Amino acid sequence: MSTATSDLTATGAGHDEEPLLVVEDLSTTFSTGGADIRAVEQVDLSLERGRTLGIVGESGSGKSVLSRSIMGLVPKYATRTGSVRFDGREMIDADTDVLREVWGAEMAMVFQDPMTALNPVQRIGHQIMESIKEHLDYSKTQRQETAIALLRSVGIPEPERRLKQYPQELSGGMRQRVVIAIALACGPGLLFADEPTTALDVTVQAQILDLLETQQRERNMAVVLVTHDLGVVATRADEIAVMYAGRIVEQAPTEVLFREMRHPYTEALLKSIPRLDLPSHTRLAAIGGRPPDLMHPPAGCRFASRCDYAQDRCREEEPPLSGGDERDSEGHLYRCWYPVGISRPQTTVDTVVEETHVRSPDDPQVSEALDGSASDRHGTSSRDGDAPASAAEDA
Amino acid sequence: MAGRGSAHLGEPEDALLRIENMHVRFPSGRGTVYAVSDVSLDIRNGETLGLVGESGCGKSTTGRAIMQLPPPSEGAVIYSGDDLTGMKGERLRGLRTKLQMIFQDPISSLNPRRKVEDIVAEGLRIWKIGSDEERDAKVDEVLEAVGLDPNTARGRRPHQFSGGQCQRISIARAVVTEPDLIICDEPVSALDVSVQAQILNLLEDLKGRYGLTLVFIAHDLAVVKNVSDRVAVMYLGRLCEVGPPDVLYSDPAHPYTEALLGAIPEPDPDLRDRQREPLSGELPSPLAPPSGCHFRTRCPRADQQCTDEVPEMAPTGDGRVVACHHPLVETAVSVGAGSTAG
């Protein structure tokens, strides 16, 4: 969330020290009754202190599983392979005792729904002091003082009084501030924020994202911001990884991604978003069809069946995550045989607006895919009091 | 802003449905919840009226009160010459075929134990519209219209469909009785963006095909702009501003509209450095809304007048009306004077 510059490749300038987080060839497979679900495959990432990585994708893209896999928060029936090095230590085969030392103290997570992330029958003070008690050798008074300071720093008025309150006595935005205070309690070096504002109103969202940005700057934290909303990462992330069907399909510094997008999925995603600067009744470019079944992934590119530009090669051979064309900016990687801006004209965030979302008249509707699995929901929607259906996000 | 008045209402004959001075109050353990306060709106034939605002602004309550679910505490809802608020029993039920709703969560709004053909045909069966064959044909027609293959879809149950497809089924169920008006309450909020675009396009198509009038309730301003002919912004139970979306979005007159627009994260990194004043503070309790203008406690322009007087709707001359003592755009009415001009 620091101001973007173009030198976003995660190699630390001038010294040989390894970045805080280095993920190599990480795959996560869920073994369910029958076939295996390959929820995340072949992910490489790295992240420096003080930087923000945005992970963007729709439901089932694997974005939440990826952040949980890095942290080690996966169920027993999940198998992880590859390497996750955090602060110089290999975490992939670490056992729970080691992870318990790391969780909360060095890596922490802010979850989407502040109501379910907090324990409804425990006072807020207790919930904040719990991890301080676990990880830091503080006296009771010190813990209390730290908790009050934390609540104040996340913008909660009257922190002394709040310590004694229960979560349901606070508004949604205030609860999310408490969740953030808990995550920050032990001063973690790496913070995962998994859809931290999806359940919140837009003006509250702006407040919470500003708060995360301030805290990141003050603490020089690395942040992984997971979201379905390209708008949220556009102005908040230094680098963005776009996920589709368990893979990173495009990865680039934020400015580069929006100016020189290469992957047709990134292009389609940007074109399908209603924009404030387009006139009303502008026809939206919907993406027809649906993501592939991860139990039986297709042979070639995973986006081929929905891609406007797919050719035979795309259906037979999966493209590697690579870049290196002379027109590519540094640090720009994508999985496509016929990339946008190389095999065809460049789309950018501006041309999307200029084209005013021209679209073929026959919307490729979904009637071709009547095969179950509620995969196109994102588990949000508690905004107006309707209980969020427990959509099997990324499962 | 956040005011009252009727300056924004058109001629009664243009309106398919008209809400007059509607209040909705709910009793609660801690007092009365003022969910909607003195809202007047007309819904014109063939238009899409967008109702936008944050949680607790009363947009869903307004939509439901139109349907008499529950009836408003005060005020009138006039539909084809009759006040729905006074109607009961069979007469009100009879009108339900003409006034339909689509809900936010497409999966929980469909009965999981019933087949799609029964879900869609139920309205026809209850009102004994057409013969069995005619009903079958109508169900096929609407399923096709919403982009589902009737042969595959008819015999399946909701869990065999994705969220987007379930929303298509809900839409089919709503249009099958050939309604005049459909209240769409956050119809795309639970969907991924690519699917959201499909459903928004579908609603636009069906509106043309079946001559529908829509009330489109959503928290997402960009979505509302995309589908609406007029947009009404609500805050804490009151209307702030009503007008054509292209005017209202490029040049908001109400400080709340401006704050709302400024808070939206647009997918454009160039906007990283744009100047914006994040709205501070919290939504006041609907148990005890502020006196005068409901937005005054968070408004940078608020003064004594805003505490003392509820602002009245006043036209700004560009087809829009605003309820604010200190609007960002000049109104035709001089400060302080209430207006009822249409």
- Complete DSSP assignment for B200-236: HHHHHHHHHHHT-EEEEEES-HHHHHHH-SEEEEEET
| pLDDT higher than 60, residue A381 | no
Whether A365 and B194 lie within 8 Å, measured CB to CB: no
- What is the percent of chain A with per-residue pLDDT over 90, rounded to a whole number? 62
What is the rounded distance in angstroms from the CA atom of residue B121 to the CA atom of residue B172? 9
Which band of pLDDT confidence, cut at 50, 70 and 90, is reported for residue A291? confident
Cβ partners under 8 Å of residue B203, min gap 6: B171, B184, B187, B214, B216, B227
B26-81 per-position pLDDT tens digit: 998 889 999 999 999 999 999 999 999 988 899 999 999 999 988 999 999 999 88
With an 8 Å Cβ cutoff, are B263 and A202 in contact? yes
- Average pLDDT over chain B reads 90
Nearest to A234 among B153, B191, B265 (CB): B265
Of B54, B165, B193, the CB nearest to A228: B193
The whole-angstrom distance between A349's CA and the closest CA on chain B is: 6
Contact: A203, B54; criterion CB under 8 Å: yes
Q: Which residues contact A312 (CB under 8 A, 6 or more apart)?
A: none
Residue A13 pLDDT grade (very low, low, confident, very high; cuts 50, 70, 90): very low
The type of residue at A30 is F
Query: Are A251 and A321 in contact, with CB atoms under 8 Å apart?
Result: yes
Task: pLDDT band for B275, please (50, 70, 90 cuts).
Answer: low
Among B residues 242-301, those touching chain A with beta carbons less than 8 Å apart: 244-246, 249, 259-272, 276, 278-280, 282-283
Average pLDDT for residues A278-288, to the nearest whole number? 89
pLDDT digits (tens, 9 = 90+) for B72-130: 999 999 998 899 998 988 899 989 899 999 998 888 899 999 999 999 999 999 999 99
Is pLDDT at A169 greater than 50 in this prediction? yes
pLDDT score, position A362: 40
Q: What is the pLDDT of residues A72-108, one digit of tens each?
A: 999 989 999 999 999 999 999 998 899 999 999 999 9
How much is the pLDDT for A383?
Answer: 33
Question: How much is the ipTM here?
Answer: 0.83
Question: B191 CB near a chain A CB, below 8 Å?
Answer: yes
Looking at the complex, report in whole angstroms how far the Cα of residue A253 sits from the nearest Cα belonging to chain B.
11
Please give, rounded to a whole number of angstroms, the shortest distance from the CA of A233 to a CA of chain B: 8
Instruction: Name the DSSP class of B70.
Output: S
pLDDT of A268 over the 50 cut? yes
Phi then psi for B34, rounded to 5 degrees? -90, 90
The partner residue sitting opposite A276, judged by closest CB among B164, B186, B261, is B261
Alpha helices in chain A (DSSP H): 63-71, 96-102, 114-117, 124-135, 140-153, 159-162, 172-184, 202-219, 230-234, 254-259, 264-272, 312-316, 349-354
Give me the mean pLDDT over the A2-21 stretch: 56
CA distance A275 to B39: 29
B22 pLDDT band (50/70/90 cuts)? very high
Q: Least CB-CB distance to A372: which of B160, B219, B226?
A: B160
Which band of pLDDT confidence, cut at 50, 70 and 90, is reported for residue A10?
A: very low
Whether A163 contacts A124, CB under 8 Å: yes
More confident: B2 or A381: B2
Distance from C-alpha of A308 to C-alpha of A272, rounded to nearest angstrom: 14
Interface contact flag, A366 B162, Cβ < 8 Å: yes
**Residue B332 banded pLDDT, cuts 50, 70, 90:** low
Q: By mean pLDDT, which of A325-334, A378-387, B205-214 is the weakest?
A: A378-387
Q: Tell me, what's the pLDDT at B257? A: 95
Backbone phi, psi, residue A56, to 5° = -115, 140
Size of interface A-B (CB pairs under 8 A): 221
- CB < 8 Å to B163, chain A: 374-377, 391
Q: Give the whole-number percent of chain A exceeding pLDDT 70.
A: 85
